[in-house]
Amino acid sequence: MATTDEIIKRTAPSHLIDHNLIDREVESLCDGMVKYEKRPAKRKDGSVVQGLYNAWIIFNNPKQFNSYTTDMVKATILAFRRASVDREVSAVVFTGVGEKAFCTGGNTKEYAEYYAGNPQEYRQYMRLFNDMVSAILGCDKPVVCRVNGMRIGGGQEIGMACDFSVAHDLANFGQAGPKHGSAAIGGATDFLPVMIGCEQAMVSGTLCEPFSAHKAARLGIIADVVPALKIDGKFVPNPTVVTDKFIDEYGRVIHGEFRTGTQFKEGLALIKEGEIDLSMLDQKVEELCAKLIDTFPECMTKSLEELRKPKLNAWNANKENSRAWLALNMMNEARTGFRAFNEGTKETGREIEFVKLRQGLAVGTPWTEELVESLMPGAQG
Ligand SMILES: CC(C)(COP(=O)(O)OP(=O)(O)OC[C@H]1O[C@@H](n2cnc3c(N)ncnc32)[C@H](O)[C@@H]1OP(=O)(O)O)[C@@H](O)C(=O)NCCC(=O)NCCSC(=O)C1=CCCCC1=O
């Protein structure tokens, strides 16, 4: 009997049709701020599989915490499409450069300096943003979010659109919307209720308090968590987070909550002293990809399509209305909130005086340029 290799050689077509829409390098769309790399796929024993790859889509804007600009959004859509149609690609790994941030959402500089007060332009941007989320949810290959650091705002939304998330435990998670002039309707309000239940979704989507990777694992937003901090050459869990106790003296679950007071400060100091090493994260990601490659490809894709439905159905039901609302919101709250983050500093703060705004609106004050200026951090002296 012929070997499988011989049959492949004899029967595979000599010419393959390219199903990509355009023939451009992903990097060329965004000055290299999104990288697309095909890395050899590996088996569970670590050996390289000939002719098969994982596509790594990497945000490369570390100075701005891997936030995405408009060009990066375009490049990401192309990258997911490329990975989706590439016969040699088994899985997609979506990550960012460095160890600080996976992604902290839309680029607030671009929001404040270009889109603020320009709803028709932001509506066009939201076409692209929506297509990016849909490209992740529609990818024919399993998508693993390698959470190399903070996953905040739109970063959390595109992360939750992925099929799996594996994080290092110095990463924080959460939303920023209502603090910075937006609503977390770029996916979070669709995905959170189905992923963690309505009550915790409400807490995350409205209060915008960051939570730890250990809590993210407990809530079920991520599949796995690994340490990244090395002290004296040994991996240790994030020292700013409770990881050694499950309940407090009143029986409340505290595993994954941030430590407070002196303990928190000591934890931060220890992180500064130590070395950050993402090798355990990479090992976990490779292990997961190796499990995924050991399956029938079409059965895998069908399973992904079915299991994505709770997220996808919610997303499809809301995404166009969300786009329209977000565009118009650029006229007042987003215009104010993103400018405040962009123009504020550590000293002045980067948020507006919410109570002052609410007091003004409570007596019917209209949204004027003068009102917006007065709300900027430091404007009142
Ligand atoms: C909480 C933070 C994520 C981290 O805070 P901290 O650890 O204190 O770091 P910073 O000093 O704030 O940040 C370090 C530098 O990175 C720059 N940065 C961080 N995030 C962004 C960003 N999103 N865009 C541009 N630049 C960013 C920051 O300015 C610092 O640089 P500098 O030169 O000034 O020293 C905190 O950084 C934070 O809250 N970031 C903003 C989060 C945010 O508001 N994201 C946008 C949310 S809205 C969104 O994503 C949406 C998606 C689609 C739908 C509509 C929508 O709104």
Summarize pLDDT for 213-270 with one digit per residue, the tens: 999 999 999 999 999 999 999 999 999 999 999 999 999 999 999 999 999 999 999 9
Q: Is the dihedral of CA 65, 160, 164, 236 positive or negative?
A: positive
Ligand 1 atom having least distance to the Cα of 345: 34
**pLDDT > 70: percent of the chain:** 100
Task: Read off the pLDDT of each residue in 282-292 and give the average, rounded to a whole number.
Answer: 98
How far apart, in whole angstroms, are the C-alpha atoms of residue 254 and residue 246? 6
162: tokens are: 């992925």
107 lines ligand 1 (CB under 6 A): yes
Q: List Cα–Cα distances, 30 to 69, 79, 85, 106, 282, in angstroms.
A: 9, 12, 21, 15, 26
pLDDT at 21 over 90: no
Token pair recorded at residue 137: 């949810």
Q: Which residues contact 191 (CB under 8 A, 6 or more apart)?
A: 157, 160, 161, 311, 314, 315
Q: How many residues does the chain have?
A: 381
Structure tokens at 212: 């730890």
Q: Identify the bridge partners of residue 143 per DSSP, sorted by sequence position.
A: 92
How does strand 224-226 pair with strand 211-212?
unpaired
What own/partner pairs with CB < 8 Å and gap ≥ 24 does 45-48 have?
A: 46/286
Mutate which of 65, 100, 209, 342 for ligand 1 pocket (most atoms within 8 A of beta carbon):
65
**Is residue 381 over pLDDT 90?**
no
380 vs 123: which has the higher pLDDT: 123
150 close to ligand 1 (CB < 6 Angstrom): yes
Summarize the confidence of residues 137-164 as an average pLDDT: 98
Looking only at the bridges linking them, the beta strands covering 234-236 and 229-231 are antiparallel
Ligand 1: atom nearest CA of 105 is 50
pLDDT attached to residue 380: 87
Whether the predicted interface score ipTM is above 0.95: yes
Conformation bin of residue 379: beta by default, left when phi > 0, alpha when psi is -120 to 50: alpha
CA-based max dimension of the chain: 86
Q: Is the CB of 182 under 6 A from ligand 1?
A: yes
Return the pLDDT at 134: 98
The alpha carbons of the chain give a radius of gyration, in whole angstroms, of 22
DSSP state, residue 258: B
Four-CA torsion 340, 343, 349, 353, nearest 10 degrees: -30
Pick the atom of ligand 1 nearest to 180's CA.
Answer: 44
Dihedral-angle region of residue 93 (phi above 0 means left; psi in -120 to 50 means alpha; beta otherwise): beta
Q: Is residue 170 lining ligand 1, measured as CB closer than 6 Å?
A: no
Report CA(335)–ligand 1 centroid distance (Å).
Answer: 15
Cβ–ligand 1 contact at 186 (below 6 Å): yes
33 closest CA partner among 126, 85, 110, 112: 110
Percent helix, strand and coil across the chain, each to the nearest 5: 50, 20, 35
Asked if residue 49 lies in contact with residue 42, where contact means CB atoms within 8 angstroms, the answer is yes
Work out the average pLDDT over 59-73: 98
- Asked if residue 297 has pLDDT above 90, the reply is yes
Ligand 1 centroid to Cα of residue 219, in Å, is 24
Task: Tell me the two tokens of residue 297.
Answer: 């490809």
Confidence band of 329 (pLDDT split at 50, 70, 90): very high
Q: Each residue of 165-193: pLDDT tens digit?
A: 999 999 999 999 999 999 999 999 999 99
**Lowest-confidence segment of 66-75, 278-287, 303-312, 372-381 by average pLDDT:** 372-381
pLDDT of 103 reads: 98
Mean pLDDT of the chain: 97
Q: Is any atom of ligand 1 closer than 6 Å to the C-beta of 98? A: no
Q: How far is CA 224 from CA 147, 194, 308, 325, 352, in A?
A: 10, 18, 19, 35, 36
Distance between alpha carbon 321 and the CA centroid of its chain, in Å? 22
- With a 6 Å cutoff on the Cβ, whether 30 touches ligand 1 is no
